[in-house]
Amino acid sequence: MIDKEKIQRINELSKKSKAEGLTDEEKREQKALRDEYIRSVRENLRSQLDTIKVVDPNEIGTFNPQAQEKLEDQSQKLKDEIKSQNANDERLAVTLRGNPANPIGEDGLKMLERMNESHKPLVDWALDGLVIKVPKTILDIGCGGGATIANLNRRFPLATIYGIDISPVAIEKSIEENKELVLEDKVRITEGSVLDLPYGSGFFDLVVSVESYFFWEDFKKALEQIYRVLNRGGTVMLIAEAYKGKMNPITEYLQDELNLRLLSPDELRAFFTEVGFKDIFVQTKEDQSWMYIKAQK
Ligand SMILES: C[S@@+](CC[C@H](N)C(=O)[O-])C[C@H]1O[C@@H](n2cnc3c(N)ncnc32)[C@H](O)[C@@H]1O
C-alpha cells in the first residue's frame, strides 16, 4: 500500500498545481506518485479478489447458502470494479495516444468517434441557449469528428456550415460524418487553424467551437480572427466541459498531461471585452463542470 506521506504529497502537489502551477521537476514527481497510487489501488483490489474463495457446497459438510451468496456478490463487485477501471484506463490511453490537441492515427480517429457521442449532451445544452436570428453561414472551429456540424444542420437546415480543424484525421472524419451534406455543398470542411482563418471578413452569422479553445496557442489572436470573420451582430459561442475553477477528475488529469489552457469565466470575459465583443454572457451548469460563453460583434 502507498504510505500516508506520499498521499499527503500528492495532495500538496495537486493544490500547488491549481494555485500557482508546478515546475517541470514537480510535474514529473506528480506523475510518478499518481502512477504509483493507481498501481497500489489495483494491487490491493487484486489481492482482495485472491483471498475470496467461493465455497463449494460439495466440498464441506456445513454449507451456509447466505454466506456463499454474500461472497459471490462481493467477488462480482470487485470484478466489476476492476473491469470498469480497466475500461477507464483504456479510454484514457486512447485519448492520450490519439492527442485531442491535434488528433492523429487510429487512436485519434477512435477518440473523435467517441467524442462525437460523449460531447453531444454538452453541445445540446449549450446550443439550446442560442437565441438568435436564423443564421445563414455558420463556422465550427476545431470541428473534430463532425458531430457538431451535423447537429447545427439539424437546428439550422437552411444554413451553409463550414468546419475547420488543424488535424487531417479530423477533416477526414468530419467529411465522412457529413458526406451527404458535403455532396450537396451544404457543408464545407477545410484544414486550417483558428489563428489564420481562411475566410473573408464579416462572412459568418454564427461561429461555434466545442472543446477546442484551450488548445489554441494564442487565445487573443484566435479571438481577433473570430471577430474579423463575424459580421456585425453575428454571434460567437465557445463551449467547454470544464473551466478554470471547476473541473471533472478526467479533465483535471488531462490538464496536467496535455497542458490544457483552461480559463475562468472572468478571464474569458476579459479577453472577449478586450477584443471588442459586446453582450458577453457566460453560462455554467450547476450539476456539471460545463460552461459556454457567447457574445456578439
Ligand atoms: C478535443 S477535440 C474536440 C473536437 C470536437 N469539437 C468535439 O467536440 O468532439 C479538439 C479539436 O480542436 C482542434 N484544434 C486544436 N487546435 C486548433 C487550432 N489552432 N485551429 C483549429 N482547430 C484546432 C483539434 O485538432 C481537435 O480536433
Cell 500528492 found at:
10
Mark whether 154 and 286 lie in a shared domain: yes
Mark whether 100 and 139 lie in a shared domain: no
Q: Which of 92, 107, 162, 166 to mutate to test the pocket of ligand 1 (most atoms within 8 A of CB)?
A: 166
Mark whether 191 and 290 lie in a shared domain: yes
Mark whether 94 and 122 lie in a shared domain: no
CATH number, residue 155:
3.40.50.150
Mark whether 52 and 145 lie in a shared domain: no
Mark whether 24 and 56 lie in a shared domain: yes
The residue contributing the CA closest to ligand 1 atom 12 is: 142
Quote the domain boundaries for residue 261: 113-296
Point out the domain boundary residue: 108, 130, 148: 108
Structural domains of the chain, count: 2
Query: Ligand 1 pocket, 149 CB below 6 A?
Result: no
Point out the domain boundary residue: 85, 108, 131: 108
Mark whether 10 and 98 lie in a shared domain: yes
* Tens-binned pLDDT, residue by residue, of the chain (297 aa): 678 788 788 888 878 887 788 888 988 888 888 888 777 767 766 666 566 555 554 554 455 677 777 777 776 766 666 666 666 677 788 888 999 999 999 999 999 999 999 999 999 999 999 999 999 999 999 999 999 999 999 999 999 999 999 999 999 999 999 999 999 999 999 999 999 999 999 999 999 999 999 999 999 999 999 999 999 999 999 999 999 999 887 788 888 888 899 999 999 999 999 999 999 999 999 899 999 999 999
Query: Ligand 1 pocket, 98 CB below 6 A?
Result: no
Mark whether 104 and 128 lie in a shared domain: no
Q: What is the pLDDT of residues 36-66, one digit of tens each?
A: 877 776 776 666 656 655 555 455 445 567 7
Point out the domain boundary residue: 81, 108, 135: 108
Mark whether 145 and 85 lie in a shared domain: no
Residues 38 and 6 sit within 8 Å (Cβ to Cβ): no
Query: Ligand 1 pocket, 214 CB below 6 A?
Result: no
Q: Residue 287 corresponds to which cell in the numbers above?
A: 450539476
Mark whether 126 and 214 lie in a shared domain: yes
Work out the angle at residue 262's Cα, subtended by the Cα atoms of residues 166 and 240, and round it to the nearest 5 degrees.
70
DSSP 8-state secondary structure symbol assigned to residue 185: T
Cell 466489476 found at:
80
Question: Which residues make Cβ contacts (< 8 Å) with residue 64, sequence separation at least 6?
Answer: 55
How far is 94 from 108, CA to CA, in rounded Å? 8
Q: Determine the distance separating the centroid of ligand 1 and the alpha carbon of 162, expressed in angstroms.
A: 14
The predicted structure's pLDDT at residue 201: 98
20: exposed, middle or buried (C-beta count within 10 Å: 0-12, 13-18, 19+)? exposed
Mark whether 190 and 277 lie in a shared domain: yes
Mark whether 205 and 72 lie in a shared domain: no
Query: Ligand 1 pocket, 115 CB below 6 A?
Result: yes
Residues 230 and 207 sit within 8 Å (Cβ to Cβ): yes
- Burial pattern 25-63, b for ≥16 Cβ within 10 A else e, equals eebeebeebbeeeeeeeeeeeeeeeeeeeeeeeeeeeee
Query: Ligand 1 pocket, 102 CB below 6 A?
Result: yes
Question: What pTM, to 2 d.p., does this model score?
Answer: 0.76
